[in-house]
C-alpha cells in the first residue's frame, strides 16, 4: 500500500513553506522515521519523516517549490520483489534495480545487467545508470538540444556564436531561502512603519572583565556553563526597562501596550540569517540560567532546531555585533518591539579619568527606539542606566 508524504502542520499562523532539500531520490529505499525532506518556513526549518517503509516512488514537489499545509509532497511505494522482470547478467546472476533506474536504462538503451550497483545488496540506482551512460558509446543527454526545423536554420561553423571569454567576471545565482525573504521584508517594514532613531553611549567594561576573571572557574565548576557578557547586559537591560517601562511596550492601533514582564530576545546569527529566540521571564532567571538558556538556544538555532514557540513574542531585543568585530552600528527594531540594544566590540582606548588619561576596555552601545512613543530624554536615560549597571555589576544583584 502506498504511503503519502504530506506537508505537516507548521505552527501558528504559518500556512505555507518552501521545499528546502530532499534527502532521498526517486527509487531510493526509505525506512519509517527516516528524514525525507526539509521544509523552510519564515521562522524554522521542519523535517518531514517517512511514516512507513518502502521505496520513494515519486517526488511531486521539487526543491524550491512553495507548498501549503496538507499538500502532497511525494509517495512511498511498498517495497516488493519484481519477479515479472528477472534480469540476469551474462553469468546468470540476477540483477536488481530500482524502477527509476530500469526505466532510465530502457529509455536510453543501456544494458542494465552491465551496470555495477551501488545501492543496498548491489541494487542498481538511477545515479548508477547515469554514471554508466556517461561513459558508454551512447551517453545519456544532460540537457535538451533544440531540434532543427525549417524555421530554425542550422548553425554552421561560420554562424556559430563566438565563445564568451573567461575574464573572471563570474556570476552566481542563489535562491533566497524563505527565512531570508521574510527577514528582508520585516526589516524593510520596520524601517517604513516606525519613527526609528538611535542614540549611543560607551561603557567601561573593566569591572565586568575583572569580575569574570575572579569568578570564571568557580562559576563554571558550580553551574557547568561559562560566565559571559550577555548575562550582565540582560540583567542591566531588565533593570533599565523597569525604570523606563515604555521601552518594554508596543503600539497597537492608537493604544500603547506596556508589558510588565520581561521576555528578552537574543539575536543569534546562523547560516540562513539572524534569528531571535526569546528568554521567557528573564527577570526571574539567575546569571547561570541566563547563560545556560542562551547557549542552548544558540546551539538549536544553528542546528535549525528552534520551534515556533522559541521565536514568538519578545518585549525587547539585544544584539551583539561585537562578536564579528563591529565597533558601532545602528540596529533595526524587531517589530512590534520599540527598543533594541546593540552591543559592540570591546576595545582598549585612552579615556580621561579623574583628570588623567588612562587605558580602559571600552564598548560602544547603541539603542534604537521608536520615537512615536519614546522621547529622546527617555532613550538617553535608558542607555545611561544600562551603562551605570554594567560598570557597577554588583548593583545588578539588587536592581537587575
Would you call 88 a catalytic residue per the annotation? no
pTM for the full predicted model: 0.64
The per-residue pLDDT string of the chain (400 residues; one tens digit each, 9 = 90 and over) reads 788 899 888 766 677 888 888 988 888 899 888 889 988 877 677 889 998 889 998 899 888 888 888 889 999 988 654 443 475 555 545 567 766 677 777 777 788 788 888 776 677 777 788 887 644 444 454 444 444 444 445 555 555 566 656 677 889 888 777 777 777 887 888 888 889 999 999 999 999 999 999 998 999 999 999 999 999 999 999 999 999 999 999 999 999 999 999 999 999 988 777 889 999 999 999 999 999 999 999 998 888 788 878 888 899 999 999 989 999 999 999 989 999 999 999 999 999 999 999 999 999 999 999 999 999 999 999 999 999 999 999 878 665 5
Would you call 375 a catalytic residue per the annotation? yes
Q: Report whether 94 contacts 87 (CB < 8 A).
A: yes
Amino acid 248: pLDDT? 97
Catalytic member of 89, 111, 371, 392: 371
10: phi then psi, degrees, rounded to nearest 5: -100, -15
Amino acid 388: pLDDT? 95
Catalytic member of 89, 111, 210, 375: 375
198 vs 332: CA distance, rounded Å:
9
372 vs 333: CA distance, rounded Å:
13
Amino acid 133: pLDDT? 67
Q: Report whether 283 contacts 262 (CB < 8 A).
A: yes
Amino acid 95: pLDDT? 62
Amino acid 83: pLDDT? 45
For each of the domains in the chain, give its residue range(s) and CATH number, in order of start: 3-77 (2.40.50.100), 87-134 (4.10.320.10), 183-399 (3.30.559.10)
198 vs 68: CA distance, rounded Å:
40
3-class secondary structure per residue, the chain: CCEEEECCCCCCCCCEEEEEEECCCCCCEECCCCEEEEEECCCCEEEEECCCCEEEEEECCCCCCEEECCCEEEEEECCCCCCCCCEECCCCCEECECHHHHHHHHHCCCCHHHCCCCCHHHCECHHHHHHHHHCCCCCCCCCCCCCCCCCCCCCCCCCCCCCCCCCCCCCCCCCCCHHHHHHHHHHHHHHHHCCEEEEEEEEECHHHHHHHHHHHHHHHHHHCCCCCCHHHHHHHHHHHHHHCHHHHEEEECCEEEECCCCCEEECEEECCEEECCEECCHHHCCHHHHHHHHHHHHHHHHCCCCCHHHHCCCCEEEEEHHHHCCCCCCCCCCCCCCEEEEECCEEEEEEEECCEEEEEEEEEEEEEEECCCCCHHHHHHHHHHHHHHHHCHHHHHHHC
Amino acid at each position: 500500500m502506498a504511503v503519502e508524504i504530506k506537508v505537516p502542520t507548521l505552527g501558528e499562523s504559518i500556512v505555507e513553506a518552501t521545499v528546502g532539500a530532499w534527502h532521498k531520490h526517486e527509487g531510493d529505499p526509505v525506512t519509517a522515521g527516516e528524514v525525507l525532506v526539509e521544509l523552510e518556513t519564515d521562522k524554522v526549518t521542519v523535517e518531514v519523516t517517512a511514516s512507513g517503509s518502502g521505496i520513494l516512488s515519486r517526488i511531486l514537489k521539487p526543491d524550491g517549490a512553495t507548498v501549503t499545509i496538507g499538500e502532497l509532497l511525494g509517495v512511498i511505494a511498498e517495497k516488493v520483489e519484481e519477479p515479472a522482470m528477472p534480469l540476469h547478467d551474462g553469468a546468470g546472476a540476477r540483477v536488481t534495480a530500482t524502477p527509476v533506474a530500469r526505466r532510465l536504462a530502457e529509455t536510453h538503451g543501456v544494458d542494465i545487467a552491465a551496470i555495477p550497483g551501488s545501492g543496498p545488496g548491489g541494487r542498481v540506482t538511477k545515479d548508477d545508470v547515469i554514471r554508466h551512460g556517461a561513459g558508454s558509446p551512447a551517453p545519456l543527454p544532460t540537457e535538451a538540444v533544440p531540434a532543427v526545423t525549417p524555421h530554425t536554420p542550422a548553425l554552421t561553423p561560420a554562424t556559430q556564436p563566438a565563445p564568451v571569454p573567461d575574464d573572471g567576471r563570474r556570476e552566481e545565482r542563489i535562491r533566497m531561502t524563505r527565512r531570508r525573504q521574510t527577514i528582508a521584508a520585516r526589516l524593510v517594514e520596520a524601517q517604513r512603519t516606525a519613527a526609528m532613531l538611535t542614540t549611543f553611549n560607551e561603557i567601561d567594561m573593566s569591572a565586568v572583565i575583572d569580575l569574570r576573571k575572579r569568578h570564571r572557574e568557580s562559576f563554571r565548576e558550580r553551574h557547568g556553563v561559562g560566565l559571559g557578557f550577555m548575562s550582565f547586559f540582560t540583567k542591566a537591560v531588565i533593570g533599565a526597562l523597569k525604570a523606563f517601562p515604555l521601552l518594554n511596550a508596543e503600539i497597537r492601533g492608537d493604544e500603547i501596550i506596556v508589558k510588565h514582564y520581561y521576555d528578552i530576545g537574543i539575536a543569534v546569527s546562523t547560516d540562513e540569517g539572524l534569528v531571535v529566540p526569546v528568554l521567557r521571564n528573564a527577570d526571574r532567571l539567575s546569571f547561570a540560567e541566563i547563560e545556560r538558556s542562551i547557549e542552548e538556544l544558540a546551539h538549536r538555532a544553528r542546528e535549525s532546531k528552534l520551534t515556533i514557540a522559541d521565536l514568538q513574542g519578545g518585549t525587547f531585543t539585544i544584539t551583539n555585533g561585537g562578536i564579528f568585530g563591529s565597533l558601532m552600528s545602528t540596529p533595526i527594531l524587531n517589530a512590534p518591539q520599540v527598543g533594541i540594544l546593540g552591543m559592540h566590540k570591546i576595545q582598549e582606548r585612552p579615556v580621561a579619568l579623574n583628570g588623567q588619561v588612562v587605558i580602559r576596555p571600552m564598548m560602544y552601545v547603541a539603542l534604537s527606539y521608536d520615537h512615536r512613543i519614546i522621547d529622546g530624554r527617555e532613550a538617553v536615560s535608558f542607555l545611561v542606566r544600562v551603562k551605570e549597571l554594567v560598570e557597577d555589576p554588583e548593583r545588578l544583584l539588587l536592581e537587575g
